Amino acid sequence: MTCRICGLKLPDGGAFLGRVAETARLMVGVPDYDAYVAHRRVTHPDEPVMTQAEFFRDRQDRRYGGGPNGAFRCC
Amino acid sequence: MSAEIIRARSPWSWLVWVAIAAVGAVALAVVALQRGETVNALWIVTAAVAVYLIAFRFYAQFVERRVLGVEPARVTPAYRHNDGLDYVPTNKYVLFGHHFAAIAGAGPLVGPVLAAQMGYLPGTLWLLAGVVFAGAVQDFVILFASTRRDGRSLGDMIKTELGPVAGVVASFGILMIMIILLAVLALIVVKALAGSPWGTFTVFATIPIAFLMGIYGRFLRPGRIGEMSLIGIVLLVASIVWGRDVAHSATLAPMFTFKGETLALLLIGYGFVASVLPVWLLLAPRDYLSTFLKIGTIAGLALGIVFVRPELHMPAVTKFVDGTGPVFSGDLFPFLFITIACGAISGFHALISSGTTPKMVENENQLRLIGYGAMLMESFVGIMAMVAASVLDPGVYFAMNTAPAILGTTAQTAAAAIANFGFVVTPDTLTQMAQQVGEATILSRAGGAPTLAVGMAQILSAVIGGQAMMAFWYHFAILFEALFILTTVDAGTRVARFMIQDLVGTAVPAFKQTKSWGANLIATAVAVAAWGWFLYQGVVDPLGGINTLWPLFGIANQMLAAIALAFATVMLFKMKRQAFSWVTLLPLGWLTICTLLAGWQKLFDARPAVGFLAQADRFARAAAEGKLLAPAKSMEQMGRVILNNRLDAGLTALFMAVVVLMLVFGVKAAFAALKSDGVTTREVGDDVPNLRPEAA
């Protein structure tokens, strides 16, 4: 879909909302689950893949669990 | 035609940029030259947006192509180490959102509100010039450096490029800043909640709400962030609405009415407990709430300003540029720059830019949008805070931000004191304003948050709800700030605990065991005690606390920025790009002058309001004569004020020493790089596998 006035390519509505949701999730440290699954299928086809719930817990612990790269934000 | 607009050098494109420049110049002229009449906030917003667009299109592109030499063909760490978890190639707009959410916090909202005491003009100009030439450059360059080094942290990069001693000095400096930051943020919450049952109730309510969300997201519907956040936000709004009844109830109100000292102790206890609880129970769900609420409120405020187009009642420049203002002490130069802090340049962003973001960048040619662009947005948040503070009647603004020692405690004495400042406000206006926002009083509510909340309430209630909703919007704004400050206190205490364990661990290896409960509890207690000490001293401070602690935080934050820029300059020298090193040297020089001069004045200025040692001496002299000075009520309290001021002086000296040391390390490394014939920078990081961050 392209914008009629400026000619720029616009994402279609559904994809756009998907991006918004993806942004909101990444804002709190949870990356795209589908991308993770796709990546595991290609690179480690024989290894187990975390379920969505496991994936969420893993990311939550990673973000808040420790290390100087935690969820600390400032200003 | 459309394609030409996108391509840079077409005549159409130049026409567009000339038009943007012209609009920006007119808007800036209106903002700067209007005298005696009020200026519409839209002029400031227009000027800011034009400045950002031009800076992003021209200066940032110059930094991208000529200074850094970004290579779109280079494979980024997101691809080289792709694990679907930490290292993930991510769409640039999605990553922009992530990065902006990570850098935006309480800082850019508070600094400009305090700086408004000198009028809106000086602060606005620094927010614009500072972000273009200092803040956004720093964020961009550090993000670039980390992306070229597998997403390694600032401390790590300093270690490899400047040497291990410099690395330890930098880590120590970062820890000290964390402590001061946590103290000053907690103090802002205390100042906003003291004597306010409505506010206190809603903030307390966030704890059970977070528990509920945490359990929902952990066990009932794992990973449903959207659902749990929605539940949380609905409950939060309900708690704000119910808070009014609590404040009016004869039995409930006293249960949620606390003095500053009690609130400080409660917060200290809370900080300890919250940072040892499992993360999914309290920290994570509240982080979701505060993140989404923050983004939503920033967007809402922007829409509100454009929709309402409020007039600014604060003069462009007030007489307090001479350094006699009640909100923060010290002359315009250097203290305005120290006070604004995060909206123009924030050293903390160097930590974020070398954190999670560089591990997700798809292509080096997106670094400009993410690093430079997100910081422009942060500056815009600062501009909006400045607008919100300036739409207030100046009399109300000063009544809210002046210590009780000057104002007294009634609307009558306050109005008289404000008249002495040269601003007119009737006692009625002050009591009426307090009633409108649902508080017993608005006097001496320093710390930026309440002022911002009244300003936001004025703007937002003009869009939704009118005057009847003003109290709701005020408490919404207070809650929104308290929420993310408490999240920061909680997360920051955990980070400080790790840093303490790391630093002590170099001497006592057993202490590094992050799985050991003993080491964890001791390090947490040390971290909480450190910021708790400064928080409590802020609450009992004779100048009202914020006046003392905020400059200390500003100095620390700018010091961290100076460290980051010193590293960036050395990196340019090592890349053999020293011809362009003025791009980082310019802000580095300015920051060094500001930090060291402000530090010097905080130490040795003869005015007790400015100099820590002068203040300590004043109290010591009075104590020697057996006299009590307000607000101390006993000789013991006099002693505490003296000790606190000497401690603050020591801390200031320490910050200055860190800056000077890092500059010495930087100059040495830069000269070494000059002597070498080739490029000496250590990029990529695959060459030094032992230094790679622990990827999951």
What are the chain A neighbours of B94 within 8 Å (beta carbons)? 19, 22-23, 26
On whether the CB atoms of residues B459 and B391 are closer than 8 A, the answer is yes
Query: Per residue in A2-19, is it b (16+ CB within 10 Å) or e — as a string?
Result: eeeeeeeeeeeeeeeeee
Contact B1 A7 (CB under 8 A): yes
CA distance A14 to chain B (A): 15
pLDDT at B499: 85
pLDDT at B87: 94
Interface contacts A/B by beta carbons within 8 Å: 156
d(CA B444, CA B437): 15
On whether the CB atoms of residues B145 and B157 are closer than 8 A, the answer is yes
Answer yes or no: is pLDDT of A4 > 80.
no
- Nearest Cβ partner for B102 among A35, A57, A73: A73
- A9 half-sphere exposure, CB direction, 13 A CA radius: 2
On whether the CB atoms of residues B488 and B106 are closer than 8 A, the answer is yes
What are the chain A neighbours of B344 within 8 Å (beta carbons)? none
What are the chain B neighbours of A57 within 8 Å (beta carbons)? 218, 222, 280
Contact A75 B696 (CB under 8 A): no
Burial of B517 (0-12, 13-18, 19+ CB in 10 A): exposed
pLDDT at B689: 41
The torsion angles phi and psi of B561, rounded to 5 degrees, stand at -65, -40
A71/B contact by beta carbon, under 8 A: yes
Contacts 24+ apart (CB under 8 A), B501-506: B502/B171, B503/B171, B503/B172, B503/B175, B506/B168
What confidence category does residue A9 fall into, taking pLDDT thresholds of 50, 70 and 90?
Answer: low
What are the chain A neighbours of B225 within 8 Å (beta carbons)? 24-25, 28, 30
Contact A75 B105 (CB under 8 A): yes
Answer yes or no: is pLDDT of B539 > 60.
yes
Q: What is the ipTM of this complex?
A: 0.88
- What's this model's pTM, rounded to 2 decimal places? 0.93
Contact A68 B351 (CB under 8 A): yes
- Nearest Cβ partner for A7 among B3, B102, B225: B3
pLDDT at B695: 38
DSSP tag of B65? I
Contact A72 B491 (CB under 8 A): yes
pLDDT at B690: 39
- Nearest Cβ partner for B85 among A19, A31, A57: A31
d(CA B671, CA B101): 38
- The mean per-residue pLDDT over the stretch B327-337 comes to 93
* Two structure tokens written together for A64: 């808040």
DSSP tag of B273? H
d(CA B259, CA B264): 9
d(CA B517, CA B381): 40
Give the A window 27-66 contacts with B, CB below 8 Å. 27-32, 35-40, 43, 52-53, 55-66
Number of Cβ within 10 Å of residue B359's Cβ equals 26
pLDDT at B346: 94
Nearest CA-CA partner of B440 in B274, B200, B134, B208:
B200
pLDDT at A67: 58
d(CA B631, CA B615): 13
pLDDT at A71: 56
What are the chain B neighbours of A71 within 8 Å (beta carbons)? 283-284, 287, 487, 491
Place of tokens 């009083």: B441
pLDDT at B250: 93
Answer yes or no: is pLDDT of B532 > 80.
yes
pLDDT at B498: 86
CA distance B57 to chain A (A): 18
Q: What is the pLDDT of residues B458-475, one digit of tens each?
A: 999 999 888 889 999 999
- The mean per-residue pLDDT over the stretch B306-312 comes to 95
Query: Per residue in B616-646, is it b (16+ CB within 10 Å) or e — as a string?
Result: bbbbbebbeeeeebeebeeeebbebbbebbb
Q: What is the pLDDT of residues B80-119, one digit of tens each?
A: 999 999 999 999 999 999 999 999 888 899 999 999 999 9
CA distance B363 to chain A (A): 17
Answer yes or no: is pLDDT of B31 > 70.
yes
- Nearest Cβ partner for A23 among B1, B94, B351: B94
Nearest CA in chain B to A37: B84
d(CA B458, CA B393): 11
Nearest CA in chain B to A5: B2
Least confident of B213-217, B478-482, B513-517, B577-581: B513-517
Contact A69 B91 (CB under 8 A): no
What are the chain B neighbours of A56 within 8 Å (beta carbons)? 217, 222-223
What are the chain A neighbours of B351 within 8 Å (beta carbons)? 68, 72, 74
What confidence category does residue B336 fall into, taking pLDDT thresholds of 50, 70 and 90?
Answer: very high
d(CA B143, CA B152): 10
DSSP tag of B686? T
Answer yes or no: is pLDDT of B393 > 50.
yes
Answer yes or no: is pLDDT of B4 > 70.
no
Answer yes or no: is pLDDT of B223 > 80.
yes
d(CA A24, CA A16): 12
What are the chain B neighbours of A24 within 8 Å (beta carbons)? 97, 225-226, 292
A15/B contact by beta carbon, under 8 A: no
A13/B contact by beta carbon, under 8 A: no
CA distance A63 to chain B (A): 9
DSSP string, A4-65: TTT--B---HHHHHHHHHHHHHHHTT---HHHHHHHHHHH-TTS----HHHHHHHHHHHHHS
Nearest CA in chain B to A65: B279
Place of tokens 């602690």: B549
What are the chain A neighbours of B216 within 8 Å (beta carbons)? none
Answer yes or no: is pLDDT of B177 > 80.
yes
Q: What is the pLDDT of residues B413-430, one digit of tens each?
A: 999 999 999 999 999 999
What are the chain A neighbours of B85 within 8 Å (beta carbons)? 31, 36, 58-59, 62
Contact A62 B288 (CB under 8 A): no
Answer yes or no: is pLDDT of B17 > 70.
yes
CA distance B503 to chain A (A): 12
Mean pLDDT of chain B: 91
- Nearest Cβ partner for A31 among B88, B288, B352: B88
What confidence category does residue B696 fall into, taking pLDDT thresholds of 50, 70 and 90?
Answer: very low
- The mean per-residue pLDDT over the stretch A50-73 comes to 79
CA distance A62 to chain B (A): 9
CA dihedral (B203, B207, B209, B214) positive or negative = positive
Return the percentage of chain B with pLDDT > 70, whole number: 97
d(CA A45, CA A70): 30
A8/B contact by beta carbon, under 8 A: yes
- Nearest Cβ partner for B287 among A59, A71, A74: A71
CA distance B488 to chain A (A): 6
- The mean per-residue pLDDT over the stretch B312-332 comes to 92
pLDDT at B5: 41
Higher pLDDT pick, B505 / B479 = B479
- The mean per-residue pLDDT over the stretch B167-195 comes to 91
Contact A57 B280 (CB under 8 A): yes
Contact B86 A61 (CB under 8 A): no
Contact A75 B108 (CB under 8 A): yes
Query: Per residue in B380-396, is it b (16+ CB within 10 Å) or e — as a string?
Result: bbbbbbbbbbbbbbbbb
Answer yes or no: is pLDDT of B380 > 90.
yes
Mean pLDDT of chain A: 82
Answer yes or no: is pLDDT of A66 > 70.
no
